[in-house]
Amino acid sequence: MTNTAYISAGSNLGDRIENIQRGAGALTRSGDVDIRARAGYYSTAPMDYADQPWFVNTAFAITTRLSPDMLLLHLKKAEQVMGRKTGGIRFGPRILDFDIIFYNDLIIDTRKLVIPHPRMHRRGFVLHPLSDICPDFVHPVLGMTVNTLLSGLDESSGECVPLDENEVITKTAYCGCL
């Protein structure tokens, strides 16, 4: 069975856009993940730990035959391939961060994995990109669409500025993925 998942991606170290693109390439290389759509790129203020560089964030719509747990392992492996280290400051600087936001319309709450992502509805850096690719997706717990959640954000959700795609393309080497 093919499943649809929505993945949030972010980076605030080095060439942030290239990190995300190379990470996306690492995700698809095995053939276990197919990226169907990518949101725009957004420059976003850090949250929870402010003393760090701004992030670049986006989101991907993917299809996969991997279970949610196996997809999580696959995402963590791609982060490691890109040089992400474990430990460090919670919500601190990172070369690459992938999170499963939605997986079909499943609700999962285990020690290792919570889907939908438990903080996504309060974070502009997640909702702005998601609204590009799945504005009408209904959060299976809250019963609201991504666009409805986005319209309900306040200033505490963090500043989120869209990046010009033409500028992004000319400044970044294309990795062969979305």
Active site annotation includes 34: no
* Rounded Cα–Cα distance for residues 120 and 169 (Å): 27
Active site annotation includes 99: yes
Tokens linked to 116:
């939908």
- For residue 105, CA distances in Å to 44, 59, 61, 134, 139 come to 27, 17, 13, 13, 8
Say which of 16, 22, 84, 123 is annotated catalytic: 84
Say which of 97, 105, 119, 154 is annotated catalytic: 97
The one-character DSSP state at 158 is -
Active site annotation includes 132: no
Active site annotation includes 105: no
- For residue 149, CA distances in Å to 28, 46, 92, 136, 164 come to 29, 20, 25, 10, 24
Say which of 15, 32, 99, 122 is annotated catalytic: 99
Say which of 22, 94, 123, 132 is annotated catalytic: 94
Indicate which residues carry an active-site annotation: 84, 94, 97, 99
